[in-house]
Amino acid sequence: MALQPVAPAALGTASHPDRVAVVVAPYGDDGAYAGEFTARGWPCVAVELAPETLPPELAGSTVSGEYRGRIVHTGSLRETVKLLAPHQVGAVVAGSSLGIDLADQLAERLRSTGNDPSSSPLRHDIGLQAETLAAAGVAAPRGIRTASLATALDWAAFYDLPEYVVAAADTALEAPIRRCRSGYDLAVAWRAMRRTAHQQGLDPHLVLQEHLSGAVYHLDTVTGGGPFGAVQHRVTRVWAETRTPSGLHDRSDLVDPRGHAPRVLTLYMQRVLDILGVTTGVLRSRLVVVHGQGPVLVRAESGPPMDAADRVLRELTGSNLVQDAVQAVLPEGPRAATRPSPRPHVARVSLIAPQDGALDEELLRTITTLPTVRQAVGDLRPGARVRRTVARTSSPGELVLAADSRKDVDRDHRAIRSAERRGLYRGTAA
């Protein structure tokens, strides 16, 4: 398995007039998958989901990008395969977590590169991930996957742990993870999460797990065919997360994958990917290194939507999630080469609002024009209203910083926090 930074693979320029790529449920990618395939000479067909099956936040959403055709999957796999047959499909990829199961089924039916459909839930259900890893003797959080609050409360009472987390089992559910210290906290979080699951029309199963303390890392991985037909897993990015004393996300720093900790994480992830049945595609995983135990997978997501930070990462690191996913499914996909030159130090810094407010124009300009700021993510405009930050998902936004020296990134990180203390969120609402 390659541990070194990777450079952008040379794009295939050969045209494939008789073959197309299928992107299933490309919601939230802003046309990135279609653009990546097209750059390699592969026209695309989008498979959209029936409007009534989409979560409310996607109601009325349109798929963007240059697609040769668009097909709506109404629930019949046979009918969707029939509609795709004239297109000579040569590659299938899930454009979001909503398309994982269907993409695997279509890839199997159309004899394209893909994962075994029977293992599809393992790439988007964190409860099944933990159960499967524990059964294989690999470190995983203690927990229970259930739709019953009573069962969850019984489990918590039996283990009597100091702190728990409640999360949706399906990573497609847009809801922040809740930390709980008591049965009352658990019940409140559980009912709120169940309401969200019901509103979004997704799996009602939730996960109650032990809260793990330790260093937090995020790993991006890509899996594809290796030499002699072997499955090859490759770690493309390793991020080290830092949190505030109150537990909020402060920043995530891209770390050198050749260091000791990334090597340990990589060896663990290699086993995890094998156990989860991953043979093709990308995963974005969150791991906690528990003292005296080592790495533990908390969650793995396949194909989360792209954001502005992901797009700029291609320039900064040599690749991003979409490029990796496309490269993995193409039959002639080139292997990424090692880049000998060092990468710049990159950090993703979350803005943290201590209370509701609005963005101050002068201080907003100060932080977005800092020397190392390469990208601003979110609704960061003067007067924009912000809510008190209670989780990373409720942050007003994010800044991507990059420089040759970590000292420069650290300096601008301190400037951002200083601006917040000086009144960044006390502006006049637009």
* Amino acid 332: pLDDT: 62
Q: How far apart are CA 80 and CA 84, in angstroms?
A: 6
Beta-bridge partners for 241: 216, 252
Share of the chain above pLDDT 70, in %: 92
Average pLDDT over residues 368-396: 94
Average pLDDT over residues 382-386: 96
Average pLDDT over residues 116-121: 93
| 212: Cβ contacts below 8 Å, ≥ 6 apart | 141, 288, 290, 296, 298
Share of the chain above pLDDT 90, in %: 68
Q: How far apart are CA 422 and CA 425, in angstroms?
A: 9
Q: Among 311, 315, 318, 324, which residue's Cα sits nearest to residue 340? A: 318
Dump the DSSP string for 29-65.
STTHHHHHHHHTT--EEEEEEPGGGS-GGGTT----S
pLDDT digits (tens, 9 = 90+) for 188-210: 999 999 988 888 777 889 999 99
Q: How far apart are CA 43 and CA 20, in angstroms?
A: 5
pLDDT digits (tens, 9 = 90+) for 261-291: 999 999 999 999 999 999 999 999 999 999 9
Q: How far apart are CA 231 and CA 250, in angstroms?
A: 36
* Amino acid 149: pLDDT: 96
pLDDT at residue 7 is higher than 50 = no
* Amino acid 82: pLDDT: 95
Treating both helix axes as pointing N-terminal to C-terminal, what angle do 100-109 and 77-84 enclose, rounded to 10 degrees? 60
* Amino acid 280: pLDDT: 92
Q: How far apart are CA 287 and CA 289, in angstroms?
A: 7
Alpha helices in 53-181 (DSSP H): 77-84, 100-109, 126-135, 149-159
Structure tokens, 100: 């994982």
| 184: Cβ contacts below 8 Å, ≥ 6 apart | none
pLDDT at residue 217 is higher than 70 = yes
Q: How far apart are CA 360 and CA 47, in angstroms?
A: 42
pLDDT at residue 421 is higher than 80 = yes
pLDDT at residue 227 is higher than 70 = yes
* Amino acid 134: pLDDT: 97
* Amino acid 8: pLDDT: 38
Average pLDDT over residues 396-420: 96
pLDDT at residue 47 is higher than 80 = yes
Torsion of CA 353, 359, 365, 369, to 10 degrees: 40
Structure tokens, 122: 């393992």
Contact 371, 408 (CB under 8 A): yes
pLDDT digits (tens, 9 = 90+) for 81-106: 999 999 999 999 999 888 999 999 99
* Amino acid 146: pLDDT: 96
CA distances to 8, 60, 152, 175 from 57, rounded to whole Å, are 34, 9, 28, 12
Q: Which SS3 state, helix, strand or coil, does residue 347 take? A: strand
pLDDT at residue 132 is higher than 50 = yes
* Amino acid 17: pLDDT: 53
Q: How far apart are CA 228 and CA 144, in angstroms?
A: 40
Cα angle: 176, vertex 380, 322; to 5 degrees: 60
Average pLDDT over residues 160-175: 90
pLDDT at residue 369 is higher than 80 = yes
Which band of pLDDT confidence, cut at 50, 70 and 90, is reported for residue 160? very high
* Amino acid 78: pLDDT: 95
* Amino acid 272: pLDDT: 97
